[in-house]
Structure 1
Amino acid sequence: MAAPIPTTIRISRETKAILDALKLHPRESYDDLISRLATMAHDGDPLSAEEIEDMRASLADIEAGRVKTLEALRRERGI
């Protein structure tokens, strides 16, 4: 890992408290913490065009009322 470049950022006390609570151990640096959180948030495997189209079709089904609730399916099957 490259040596960090010293910099200053302004955050609220509330944000600092949240960051402090997210530390894996009290001596974890903010640089390590922020890097870990950013890595977790980054999606290295974006959705494919086919997956996006499937989601759009599913949303269209929901909007058109072509879905059943889990409870309705249970009633139909007597579960």
Structure 2
Amino acid sequence: MTSSPAPINLDKLRNAVQRFGRMSFTTSQLAADYHRGDESLSAPETALFDELLRRHAPLLGITPQPSSAGGDTVWLAL
């Protein structure tokens, strides 16, 4: 039986975003920070963070940056 991931706390997510300040960050960097440095997050877990960031970007004060390289979304504070 597989365990489902714990729900993401939006206040904790906001705090993680604010720790980056005006620096750009990727979805993976934010997810690792949220999980206190756990670099071994699965692709579905990272995708969940990307989905949440996109949904709540206006509330979090961030915007995705265009990238030709693909991979993780790069975010920047407004």
Larger Rg: 1
Q: Which has the higher helix share?
A: 1
For Structure 1 versus Structure 2, the TM-score category normalised by the shorter chain is under 0.3
TM-score, normalised via structure 2 length: 0.24
Provide the TM-score with structure 1 as the length reference. 0.24
Which structure dedicates a bigger proportion of its chain to strand? Answer: 2
The structure showing larger relative contact order (alpha-carbon pairs under 8 Å, at least 6 residues apart) is 2
